[in-house]
Amino acid sequence: MELEKYMKIAIGEAEASLREGNNGFGTVIVKDGKLIASAHDKEDTESDPTSHAEINAIREASRKLGQKLSGCILISTHEPCPMCASTIVWAGITEVAYGYSIEEAIAQGRKRMDLPCVEIFSKANNAIQIYDGVLKNECSILYRDDVRKEIERLRGADDQKLKELNEDSIRRRIKWFQENRDRFDFISQDLLDSGYQLLLERFRISSDEAPVIHKTDKAIVFHSMNFCPTLEACRILDLDTQYICKKLNENSTDTLLKQIDKRLIFSRNYDKLRPYSEYCEESISLPEN
CA distances from 266 to 185, 210, 216 (A): 21, 15, 15
- What average pLDDT score do residues 256-265 get? 97
What's the pLDDT at 111? 76
Q: Is 239 exposed, middle or buried (0-12, 13-18, 19+ CB in 10 A)?
A: middle
Sequence-separated (6 or more) residues with CB below 8 Å from residue 187: 194, 197, 198, 260
What's the pLDDT at 67? 87
- Annotation says 54 is catalytic: yes
CB 176 within 8 A of CB 262: no
CATH of 3-141, one of 3.20.20.150, 3.40.140.10, 3.50.50.60, 2.40.50.100: 3.40.140.10
- What average pLDDT score do residues 189-214 get? 97
- What average pLDDT score do residues 234-261 get? 95
DSSP-derived pairing of the beta strands 280-285 and 26-31:
unpaired
Note if the bond before 275 is cis, omega within 30 degrees.
yes
pTM of this prediction?
0.89
Residue 58's pLDDT band, with cuts at 50, 70 and 90, is very high
CB 52 within 8 A of CB 81: yes
DSSP state of 182: G
Phi, psi for 96 (deg, rounded to 5): -135, 135
CB 287 within 8 A of CB 265: yes
The CA distance from 241 to 275, in Å, is: 8
Domain ranges of the chain: 3-141, 153-285
Percent over 70 (pLDDT), the chain: 100
- pLDDT score of 149 more than 70: yes
For residue range 204-247, what is the model confidence (pLDDT) as tens digits? 999 999 999 999 999 999 999 999 999 999 999 999 999 999 99
The CA distance from 131 to 98, in Å, is: 7
* Active-site residue (options: 13, 15, 54, 95): 54
CB atoms within 10 A of CB 268: 18
For residue range 85-137, what is the model confidence (pLDDT) as tens digits? 999 999 999 999 999 999 998 887 777 778 899 999 998 877 899 999 999 99
Percent over 90 (pLDDT), the chain: 91
Q: Which helix (H) or strand (E) holds 212?
A: strand 212-215
CB atoms within 10 A of CB 197: 18
Residue 1's pLDDT band, with cuts at 50, 70 and 90, is low
